[in-house]
Structure 1
Amino acid sequence: MLNLKTCVAIAALTLAGTAGAATTNAFANGGFETAGGPGQLAAGWLTAATNSPATLSGDAHSGSHALLLSAPNGLDASIALQDSVGHGGMPLLGAANVGDTPWLSFWAKGDASVTGNAFVTLRYMGANGVISTALNQQFQSQLSTSSWTQISFQAAAIPVGTTSVFIEIGTAVGPILENRPNAVLVDDLQFALHTAAVPEPGSYALLLAGLATVGTIVRRRRA
């Protein structure tokens, strides 16, 4: 027989189902398909001031463009960067994101060379600058010169006060040895944020209608 506790349980499960979770990408133009404005590598993306600036390549995992990180002459670095809000124009992070441990994923291909590496660094930013380092990883060991590989890293939990995420992804190399050029391709980059979704008014209406029906059944059985 349905009782008050059963009704409450049904309500909680129904509300949990409607609340769910929303997933959004924190960075703009992760496929590097949208052209950038003045001073931009691609929309939302800048290149660090090195002798080997990051460029775009037509060898893409999907679409028409990929990020090319290359220091072909050695003893240099090639780095692309984006602040999710300041450069990418994405929404500010806030209380709904605190505690989330997002995943960074992207597809990569190439060779960092014998003396080089490929790396990605994420920092959580607040009103007064860097709050903490979310991720600092190298991935040259996962690269293939002939095929695209999906690479994923889990970032640290988002702290209170975080308003944006800053990414640097690049390659750095010493002297070129064994005729292995330094060239790393990156495409389809995503930093998946999970935030609690607020139920829509229609979800509340369905919930109330369901509870009313359950209440009617309970009253009839008691009668």
Structure 2
Amino acid sequence: MAFRFCWLGICLLIVGTVSAQNSQSIAQLKQADKVQNSRERITFLLSAEGLQTISDDSIKAAYLQKLGNTYAQAYSNDTALYHLNEALQLVGSKPFKLLKGEIYNSLGNTSLTLSATDDAMKYYNAGLEEVGDLHTVDGASLKSRLLGNIGGIYNELEQYSKSLEYAQASFQVIQEYNLTERYFMGHLVLAFAHSALGHLDQSMEHNLKVLDIILQNGDSSYLAYAYKN
């Protein structure tokens, strides 16, 4: 009996230790977002103690995704793809739909920077398959980004009607879930899509919405860009 209580105590200690490690890892992942310089963020992600002892697969995959995204921002795209594929392999068939969707989106973005348009389209569509039935705000936000990204590819391919179709689908999700942080990009993508088709009145309407959002938020960094449009 004493042995059993001792073993139970050891199990509880292990669970408590793992939980504390996971909490530390999550906290350090959030801390990494505050590091503005991508090279400095890479150094932080590779050296932070809590990120070297991750035991939870979902946290480990989120770490690898963040590491991959940061390498992409530092223009080390091959290394970015390596870590993003590591993350995708780690989640495998596990039911981490939102996380897998984010990884696919990151793979698509990185592929685009390498001009691998077919790969990017494949990854974005795979991401949509993961989040298509996720009726949450986070799932909707990712879905709107994926749809907008696919619309951007069709714009590059000069398939402007398809580009508008996906831009409108993205904006519909934004409106349905009232994704306030996505209205700026939603209107901007629609402005480009309508402009490409020669729908100048509709393009102007969405560009004015973009300008209004900028003025309301007091973000002057996009102001000249909006006036130019």
**Shared fold by TM > 0.5?**
no
Q: Which has the larger radius of gyration?
A: 1
TM-score by length of 1: 0.29
TM-score computed with the length of structure 2 as normaliser: 0.28
Q: Whose strand proportion is higher, 1 or 2?
A: 1
Identify the structure with the greater helix proportion: 2
